[in-house]
Amino acid sequence: MPLALSRGPLQRFIFRVRSELPDYGMPMKTSPRTSLTAALLLAFLSVALSSTAQAPVSASPENAAEDASVLRAFAALHPIDVHVHVFKTNPQFQAMLERLNLKLLNILVMDDTLSYRKQLQKQIDDAQALVQSSHGHVALCTTFDPYKFDSPSFTADAIKQIDRDFAQGAVAVKIWKNIGMEIKNSAGQYIMADDPKFEPIYQDIASHGKTLMTHQAEPDVAWGPPDAADPSWSYYQENPQWYVANRPGFPSKQKILDARDHVLANHPNLRMVGVHLGSMERDLDNIARHLDQYPNFAIDTAARMDYLMLMPPEKLRAFLIRYQDRVLYGTDLDLPPEADFSDALKDFQSTYARDWKFLATSAPLSVNGKPIHGLNLPRSVLEKIYRTNALHWIPGL
Ligand SMILES: [Zn+2]
C-alpha cells in the first residue's frame, strides 16, 4: 500500500528533534550538536520514507477495517506476547491466535486473594492443558508457592515442582509482587526477593537455562499521593490492598527493587525479565542504568504502554533503538475462568492494534485524553521487540 504519512505529525516530530535532543541518541558524543541533529533527521526521514511495515492508519480506534489492516501488519511479524494470564480457550480464541500468527507466554501467579489463583496445582494443570490444545501458540511460565515460605521444606519443594514443570515444557518461572509487599516471615518482616531461601531456586532456574520473570514492587503511585492522572490509579481504587502510601513500616519501593537488583548481581548466569518495565515505569534513565549494569536483565512492556505513551517521544524512540535487544513486547491481557470470550477477543485485538499503531506507525493516537503520535520504529527494531528478543531471552518459546 502507498505510504501516506501525514505531514503534520512528521513536521511536528522534526521540530521536536530539532528543539530537544534525546538522551539516548546515536553513539556520536564527540560530534557537534548540529551534526547529530542532522544525522537524527536523516535517520528518521530514511525510516519514514522507506517504511513498508504498515499501512497508514487514522485516529479512529472504532474503525474495524483499519484495525484489521493494522493487525495484519502485526501478524506479519509472527509476534510473541510474553505476558498474558489465560486460563481457558475456545475455537474463536484459538482462531485468533492462528490468524495473528501469535504466540503467548502464559504466566502463573499465586495470589491468595483470588480463589482460583490460590491453587497452584489447578493452575498448572489448566495451563498445561491449554498449552497442549494450542498447537504451539501458548507456552507456560510457571511459578511456585511463596505462601509456603515458612515450611522447612519450602526451597526443596519449590525446586522439585518447577523442575517437574520444566520437564513438562515450562520455559520460565515467575515471582510476583507478593514477595516484597505481602508475605512476611516468622519474624514478621516482609520477605524480599534476595532472601537466602530463594537462592537455590534461582540457581536451579539458571542451571536449567530457564528465565526468571520478576514482577517486583508496583508503579510509583502506589507509594505516592492519590493521582487520578496516573495510568495505574484506577487499579489502586479497585485493589486498595496494593495501595501502600502512608503505611507505617511498609518497605519502600527502592528497598524492594534493591533486593531484585541483588538477585541480578548474585546470579549473572540467570536471565531475568523485569516485567512492567522492571517497575521503573516513569524513569527511562533508571531503566537504562539497569540495562547497562546488568547484562542478564531485560524488561517487558506489559500493562505499562500508557506510561510509554506519555513519555517524551523522541527520548523514548531513541531509548528503544539503543536498547532494542533488551525490550520484550507483553500486554498483561487476561482471560480468567469467569471471563466472557467475546469481550476478551475484542480486548486482545484492540490492545494489539493500539500498541502496534503506537510502536510501528506514525498514526495520531490519544492517551489519557492527550494527543500523541506513533513512534514509527524501524522494522528491524520491531522484529526484535515483537519476536526475536522473546526467543533470545526466553529460550524454548
Ligand atoms: Zn501480569
Distance 275 CA to ligand 1 centre (A): 8
Residue 273 three-state SS = strand
Least confident residue range of 41-45, 138-142, 188-192, 345-349: 41-45
CA of 85 to the centre of ligand 1 (A): 7
Compute, in angstroms, the gap from residue 303 CA to the centroid of ligand 1.
Answer: 8
Query: Residues 31-85: pLDDT tens digits?
Result: 333 344 444 444 443 333 333 333 333 445 556 778 899 999 999 999 999 999 9
Which pLDDT does position 64 carry in this prediction?
73
Distance 189 CA to ligand 1 centre (A): 25
DSSP one-letter code for 299: E
Ligand 1: centre distance to CA 130 (Å): 17
Query: Looking at residues 260-288, what average pLDDT do you find?
Result: 98
pLDDT the model gives residue 14: 32
The answer to whether the CB of 93 falls within 8 A of the CB of 344 is yes
Banded model confidence at residue 389, pLDDT cuts 50, 70, 90 = very high
Between 49 and 178, the more confident residue is 178
**pLDDT on residue 22:** 33
Sign of CA dihedral 376, 379, 384, 388: positive
Q: Over pLDDT 90: what percentage of the chain?
A: 81
Among 27-41, 102-116, 282-296, 306-320, the range scoring the smallest mean pLDDT is 27-41
Point out the least confidently predicted range of 108-117, 198-207, 282-291, 380-389.
108-117
The residues that bridge with 128 in the sheet, in sequence order, are none
CB atoms within 10 A of CB 107: 27
61-75, 144-158, 315-329: which has the minimum mean pLDDT?
61-75
CA distance 256 to 250: 10
Considering only CA atoms, which of 70, 68, 67 is closest in space to residue 55? 70
**Residues around ligand 1, an ion, CB closer than 5 A:** 332
Q: Which cell is 372 given?
A: 500523541
pLDDT at 355 over 60: yes
The region of weakest confidence among 23-32, 71-80, 93-102, 248-257 is 23-32
Residues 217/177, Cβ–Cβ less than 8 Å: yes
The Å distance, Cα 273 to ligand 1 centre, comes to 12
For every residue of 33-76, DSSP letters joined together read HHHHHHHHHHHHHHHHHH--S-----S-TT-HHHHHHHHHHHHT
- Strand blocks (E) in the chain: 80-86, 103-107, 138-143, 172-175, 211-214, 271-274, 297-300, 327-328, 333-335, 364-367, 370-373
104 and 397 Cβ atoms separated by less than 8 Å = no
- Across the chain, mean pLDDT equals 87
Instruction: Kindly give the distance from the C-alpha atom of residue 332 to the centroid of ligand 1, in angstroms, as a whole number.
Output: 5
Label residue 303 left, alpha or beta by phi (over 0 means left) and psi (-120 to 50 means alpha): left
At 30, the amino acid letter reads: T
pLDDT at 221 over 70: yes
Distance 174 CA to ligand 1 centre (A): 10
Structure confidence at residue 306 as a pLDDT band (50, 70, 90): very high
Query: What is the distance in A from the centroid of ligand 1 to the CA of 81?
Result: 12
Query: What pLDDT, on the 0 to 100 scale, is given for residue 192?
Result: 98
Query: DSSP class of residue 182?
Result: T
Q: What pTM value is reported for the model?
A: 0.84
Mean pLDDT value across residues 117-136? 95
- Residue 112 CA, ligand 1 centroid: distance in Å: 15
Mean pLDDT of 333-344: 94
Residue 115 pLDDT level (bands cut at 50, 70, 90): confident
DSSP reduced 3-state for 190: strand
Distance from the alpha carbon of residue 331 to the mean position of ligand 1, in angstroms: 8
Distance from Cα 84 to the centre of ligand 1, integer Å: 6
Q: Alpha-carbon distance 170 to 40, whole Å?
A: 42
Distance 34 CA to ligand 1 centre (A): 43
1 pLDDT tier (thresholds 50, 70, 90)? very low
Segment 180-189, tens digit of pLDDT: 999 999 999 9
- For ligand 1, the distance from its centroid to the CA atom of residue 142, given in whole angstroms, is 12
For residue 362, the model assigns a pLDDT of 97
pLDDT at 113: 86
